[in-house]
C-alpha cells in the first residue's frame, strides 16, 4: 500500500467520523461540507474530492457507523441462549449507545432521510445489519421451543429492530414511557422463558394449540 493510498484512507475515515460527530452534535440542519470538514480537521474540498457530495458522504457515514456498531456487539449477540437474554442484551446495547450519543445520531439520520434521498436506503441498509444478527440469534434461541415452528425469524427480527428504533425516538420526548416499553419487552421475554421451562407434556399441548390456531 502506497503512502498516498494510506493517507487517502485516513482522510476518508476522518470525514466519515466527522460526519457522524457533526450529525450527533449539531443535527442534520447544521450539517454541511464546512461543518463536517471543521469537525474532521481537514480541508472542505476533500468532502467533494472523496465523496462527490455531502449527501453521498452522509450515506457512506451511515453505513460506516452501522458497521462499526454491529461489529462491537456481534459476538455478544451471538452468545445469547434465550429470548429473554437477547432482549436483555438489546437493552444493554440501547443504554450504551444512548450514553455515547448514537441514539441521537439515529434520530438525526431518520429525520435527514425525509429530505436527503440517499440517506433513506443507507439508513435501511444499516438497520439490516442489525436485523441480520438478531435473526440469527432468534433462529437459534427459538429452535427448541414450542414457538420455533410457528415464528418467522426474519419478520420477528424486523419487528424487534423497529421496536428498538421506536423506543429510541420515543425516549427523546418521554423517557419514562420509553423505559416502560423496554420493561414490557423484558417481561415478554420472561413469559417466554417461563413457557420454555414447562415440562414436555405442557410443551406438546402448547404446540398442539398453536398448530390449531395457525390452521384457522
All three cell numbers of 45, joined, read: 474540498
* Residue 82 binned pLDDT confidence (cut-offs 50, 70, 90): confident
Compute the mean pLDDT over every residue in the chain, rounded to the nearest whole number: 82
pLDDT tens by residue, 154-167: 898 898 888 877 87
CA distance 39 to 21: 7
DSSP symbol at 173: T
H runs (alpha helix) in the chain? 3-26, 33-40, 45-51, 54-78, 83-99, 102-112, 119-142, 153-171, 175-196, 200-215
For the full predicted model, state whether its pTM sits above 0.85.
Answer: no
pLDDT tens by residue, 144-157: 766 666 678 889 88
* Residue 1 binned pLDDT confidence (cut-offs 50, 70, 90): very low
Q: What pLDDT is stored for residue 215 in this prediction?
A: 57
CA distance 91 to 79: 15
Which whole number is the average pLDDT over 86-103?
81
* Residue 13 binned pLDDT confidence (cut-offs 50, 70, 90): very high
- Confidence check: pLDDT of 4 > 50: yes
Angle at 8 between CA 100 and CA 32, to 5 degrees: 55
Which whole number is the average pLDDT over 19-30?
90
Nearest-CA neighbor of 148 among 206, 68, 63, 65? Answer: 206
Q: What pLDDT is stored for residue 164 in this prediction?
A: 77
Amino acid at each position: 500500500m502506497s503512502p498516498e493510498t494510506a493517507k487517502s484512507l485516513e482522510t476518508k475515515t476522518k470525514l466519515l467520523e466527522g460526519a457522524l460527530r457533526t450529525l450527533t452534535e449539531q443535527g442534520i440542519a447544521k450539517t454541511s461540507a464546512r461543518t463536517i470538514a471543521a469537525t474532521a480537521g481537514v480541508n472542505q474540498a476533500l468532502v467533494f474530492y472523496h465523496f462527490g457530495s455531502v449527501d453521498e458522504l452522509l450515506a457512506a457515514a451511515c453505513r460506516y457507523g452501522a458497521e462499526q456498531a454491529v461489529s462491537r456487539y456481534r459476538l455478544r449477540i451471538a452468545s445469547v441462549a434465550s429470548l429473554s437474554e437477547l432482549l436483555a442484551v438489546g437493552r444493554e446495547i440501547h443504554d450504551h449507545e444512548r450514553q455515547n450519543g448514537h441514539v441521537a445520531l439515529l434520530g438525526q439520520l431518520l429525520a435527514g432521510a425525509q429530505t436527503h434521498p440517499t440517506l433513506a436506503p443507507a439508513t435501511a441498509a444499516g438497520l439490516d445489519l442489525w436485523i441480520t444478527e438478531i435473526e440469527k440469534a432468534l433462529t437459534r434461541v427459538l429452535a427448541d421451543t414450542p414457538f420455533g415452528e410457528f415464528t418467522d425469524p426474519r419478520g420477528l427480527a424486523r419487528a424487534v429492530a423497529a421496536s428498538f428504533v421506536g423506543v429510541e425516538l420515543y425516549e427523546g420526548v418521554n423517557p419514562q414511557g420509553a423505559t416502560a416499553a423496554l420493561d414490557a419487552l423484558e417481561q415478554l421475554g420472561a413469559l417466554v422463558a417461563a413457557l420454555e421451562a414447562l415440562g414436555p407434556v405442557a410443551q406438546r399441548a402448547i404446540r398442539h394449540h398453536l398448530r390449531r390456531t395457525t390452521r384457522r
